[in-house]
Amino acid sequence: MQMRFNVAKILTRSPRLETVIMVEEFIKGHSGEYKKTELFNNLPKKMMWGTFNVVLEYLYRDNKIGMDKEGVIVWIYNPQTYRQFASRKGY
């Protein structure tokens, strides 16, 4: 399923680093539990919808999160696997 962010159509603000980290940590701890709107409503601190979409877009483009076919947000980043592939010699 393709994730949509619509950041061009929504009033957005640039998130602070602590906001990005808070969303990242929350998704790590609750991977596979919430759809996008549910995730937004259950965050420990409130933020604007546009800011939330900017954070999700960043995490998605950085290959840290994904969405399953039901629309549930999952944490997919695995640093150990990344290091294995990054250290391989090219062909």
Q: What is the mean pLDDT of the chain?
A: 87
Predicted confidence at residue 79, as pLDDT, reads 82
3-state secondary structure the chain: CCCCCCCCCCCCCCCCHHHHHHHHHHHHHCCCCCEHHHHHHHCCCCCCHHHHHHHHHHHHHCCCEEECCCCEEEECCCHHHHHHHHCCCCC
- Please state the domain extents for the chain: 17-86
CATH architecture assignment, domain 17-86? Orthogonal Bundle (1.10)
pLDDT (tens digit per residue) in 40-50: 999 999 999 98
pTM: 0.79
